[in-house]
Amino acid sequence: MSTLNERIHRQFHGTPDIEPEVYEMLGRDADTNLAELIWQQHCFHEFRRWNVTEKVRAIDLSRLTPRDKRFVRNAGIAELTTKPGADRLSNLADKECRRWSGRNAVLAAVMQALGTWSRYWNEEESHHETAFGYLMMAVDGFAPTDETIIEYRKIFPDDNMLRTLMVLVFSEITASVQYAHVAQQVSEAGLRSLLRQIAADEIQHMRYFVTFAKALVDSGEYGAKDAFAISHMYLREGGELYGSVREHPEDRDSHVNWWDHVESGFPDIDLGLGIDKKEKMIFNALERVSGIRVTSREEVENTWMDLVPC
């Protein structure tokens, strides 16, 4: 077993990565586990940082097509909801940390690590929002109004933490697949590079949410049934995965789910991009979180029903 000193130095001498076994790591026989994990989070964050102004400067605005502009508008509006998402997560994680303190010290540390990571998540999402925000302003008539920004900043209501994390896993999957598909379709090299960078960030966010959701299930305090319930909510016919393509997207007063508000305006923009890929990624995430392998939406529904107590 390496020493704390060796491990923290390995983070910047080597290639930092996301801790895959958070519950096990925080349960080690040491009272410095949380400090070590926070350092690991920071090293990974810094290792992957990029510069918004450099990225947008490389885009030739005169070469953006009407479709590119519409993609930028949809993405920029969607990214406005990440700040309230991260603000809500850090509050909920701290509340949960206090709730578990004295009852399950490792789980309390998991919640604190999650709340701590949400500051990096928030900062990374701010890169996405402001990169697209600049492009929306630079393209005539596409800047969001103050009213839109304030509306899209509504803080999401609290839910059970495992359910919350699974929604975030699937939201990141949807975003990453969407950006990667769009990147293949745009011809302007700078915009393509920006979309690829953001798609890669969303994958890392998904990996983080998966690792924390797994830690909750590993603790024995959260049941895998909640992970399956949210998966079913996404995968079912007319579910969240279909976003604004649905015949009846959700209409809420409390907050805005970005996937319900993707506008087309161009008949050749496919809002149902990469459904198969998204489904496969959802099955893989579910397996990582719960240890249960499923390969179809029917299996997801059946497993969920099996897990619900009679």
Q: How many CB atoms lie within 10 A of CB 2?
A: 8
- Three-state SS annotation for 4-58: HHHHHHHHHHCCCCCCCCHHHHHCCCCCCHHHHHHHHHHHHHHHCCCCHHHHHHC
For 160, the token pair is 């059970």
Beta-carbon contacts of 157 under 8 Å, excluding residues fewer than 6 positions away, are 254, 255
Beta-carbon contacts of 49 under 8 Å, excluding residues fewer than 6 positions away, are none
- Least CB distance from residue 178 to Fe ion, whole Å? 10
For 171, the token pair is 């939201």
- Least CB distance from residue 299 to Fe ion, whole Å? 27
Distance CA 310, CA 302 (A): 14
- The answer to whether residue 202 forms part of the interface with Fe ion (CB under 5 A) is yes
- The answer to whether residue 165 forms part of the interface with Fe ion (CB under 5 A) is no
CB closer to Fe ion, 125 vs 226? 125
Q: Using the rule CB under 5 A, which residue among 88, 205, 214, 297 binds Fe ion? A: 205
- In this chain, which stretch among 6-14, 170-178, 223-231, 246-254 interacts with Fe ion, using CB under 5 A? 170-178
- In this chain, which stretch among 35-43, 96-104, 202-210, 221-229 interacts with Fe ion, using CB under 5 A? 202-210
- Least CB distance from residue 96 to Fe ion, whole Å? 21
- Least CB distance from residue 191 to Fe ion, whole Å? 15
CB closer to Fe ion, 64 vs 173? 173
- The answer to whether residue 278 forms part of the interface with Fe ion (CB under 5 A) is no
Distance CA 90, CA 96 (A): 10
Q: Using the rule CB under 5 A, which residue among 69, 70, 73, 128 binds Fe ion? A: 128
64: left (phi over 0), alpha (psi -120 to 50) or beta: beta
CB closer to Fe ion, 45 vs 236? 45
- Least CB distance from residue 308 to Fe ion, whole Å? 30
- The answer to whether residue 55 forms part of the interface with Fe ion (CB under 5 A) is no
Q: What is the DSSP letter of 124?
A: H
Beta-carbon contacts of 55 under 8 Å, excluding residues fewer than 6 positions away, are 131, 190, 193, 194, 197
CB closer to Fe ion, 36 vs 125? 125
- In this chain, which stretch among 169-177, 227-235, 267-275, 296-304 interacts with Fe ion, using CB under 5 A? 169-177
Contact pattern for Fe ion over residues 141 through 160, marking x by CB under 5 A: --------------------
Which residues are near Fe ion by CB under 5 A?
125, 128, 172, 202, 205
